[in-house]
Amino acid sequence: MTEMIYLDYNASQPLLREAKTAMTEAFDLVGNGSSVHGAGRLVRSAIEKAREQVATTVGAKPQDVIFTSGGTEANNLALTPSLFKKPLQSGAQLFVSAIEHPAVLNGMRFNQEQINIIPVTKAGVVDVQKLKAALEEIRSRLAVDEGQEESLAVLVSVMAANNETGIVQPLREIADIVHEMGGLVHSDCVQALGKMPISIDELGVDLMSVSAHKIGGPQGVGALILKDSSVVLRDPLIAGGGQELKRRGGTENVIGIVGFGAAAQTINEDHFDKLVEITTLRDKLEAGILEISPEAVIFGKGQARLGNCCCFAVEGFSAETLVIQMDLNGVAVSSGSACSSGKVEQSLVLKAMAVPESLGRGALRISLGVETSVQEIDRFIEVWEMLYQRQKRGGMATDDKKTSRAKYVTI
């Protein structure tokens, strides 16, 4: 069997050698990080080293990093109405953008009547003016006086960069508007971390979610990072032995946390030069796609976008069929469409961008990473040309029922 060409880094990045080495060493640790004896203290110091490494990637303080079981849990932990000191009479309101990961889009611990969806423009960018108008409407309804302690009990959650298109969001602008009204801002930075420089201060957010496996750490570990101690989490998702400063109970996943720290350390070192190389490869990939199929639409091209990501579609193609055909040719990519009960539907992200369904159903997401080589990109282009020509000749099954497999969503 030919070697697999992995172009699905946004779903999960392969474990980095640095993370694997650190985790292997951590297997020799004995004891519980909460124990006061020497063995326990060694575990504690491994956890705290990782906490510092993760904090450094975004310029946060180590005590503001809460380790979780991943990005999903971090998002769940963040999206809670009890973040506010004194919710106003109508209760706290949550605003989430229409292109969020399901771990945010569903509003988590907010009730349905508290959840508001912020639309995005056709360019896939959060409509800041619509958000501002909605917040002003709430403010005038509640007649909140400036300087009043409780301000607006509003939490706004907008991702830093989208997982399907890579389109970067105007977080700083959003944060300034929300803060001016006294609200809080959470950002799902799961895809952005490691793919663009991130500083919690510069983004201006109060809480951010990150995940180890998107940066070459292990799966099943992540963190919610707070701007500072002014953000108080009163309602832990998992209460128990008081770990993580009473914000997330349970004996820590030491091996996972150590691997996360080691992967984070690679970002703290020479990582960003590699991003330039990755972007060059991505641009080569897109030039190849457009040469073969000039009618292809590349979502977000020409805009602020993660340099590792290309989401494109050709009218009338079936993404599900393409993903399977790519796989049969040894290339692992994702579709930008969601498939449920055998019926391929357009992804919510592309739908929110008003992409016609006939185009969106064919969307593929190619995501590159630190190990991607020029030969792999050349091979992708070769396979794309073959599949494209076959489809144009009418030889590839486009009936999704013929090729339908398990239910999946783009992650």
Kindly state whether residue 70 participates in binding ligand PLP, applying the rule CB under 6 A.
yes
| Minimum distance of ligand PLP from residue 209's CB (angstroms) | 7
Kindly state whether residue 411 participates in binding ligand PLP, applying the rule CB under 6 A.
yes
- All residues at 6 or more sequence positions from 375 whose CB lies less than 8 Å from its CB, including other chains: none
Closer to ligand PLP by CB, 72 or 151: give it.
72
Residue nearest to ligand PLP (CB): 71
Q: How many CB atoms lie within 10 A of CB 337?
A: 30
Catalytic residue among 309, 310, 311, 339: 339
Kindly state whether residue 190 participates in binding ligand PLP, applying the rule CB under 6 A.
yes
Question: Binding ligand PLP by CB under 6 A: which of 81, 107, 222, 256?
Answer: 222
| Minimum distance of ligand PLP from residue 165's CB (angstroms) | 11
Closer to ligand PLP by CB, 29 or 221: give it.
221
Kindly state whether residue 211 participates in binding ligand PLP, applying the rule CB under 6 A.
yes
What is the three-class DSSP state of 94? strand
- Is residue 143 packed enough to be buried (19+ CB in 10 Å), middle (13-18) or exposed (0-12)? exposed
318 vs 9: CA distance, rounded Å: 22
Pair of tokens at residue 203: 């983004």
Q: Is 310 a catalytic residue?
A: no
Q: In the 3-class helix/strand/coil scheme, how is 111-171 assigned residue by residue?
A: CHHHEEEECECCCCCECHHHHHHHHHHHHHHHCCCCCCCCCCCEEEECCCECCCCCEECCH
Contact string (CB under 6 A) for ligand PLP, positions 160-189, x = contact: ---x------------------------x-
Closer to ligand PLP by CB, 70 or 81: give it.
70
Question: Binding ligand PLP by CB under 6 A: which of 159, 185, 331, 359?
Answer: 159
Kindly state whether residue 72 participates in binding ligand PLP, applying the rule CB under 6 A.
yes
Kindly state whether residue 191 participates in binding ligand PLP, applying the rule CB under 6 A.
yes
C-alpha dist (Å) from residue 14 to 10, 26, 66, 222, 280:
10, 19, 24, 16, 21
Active site residues: 339
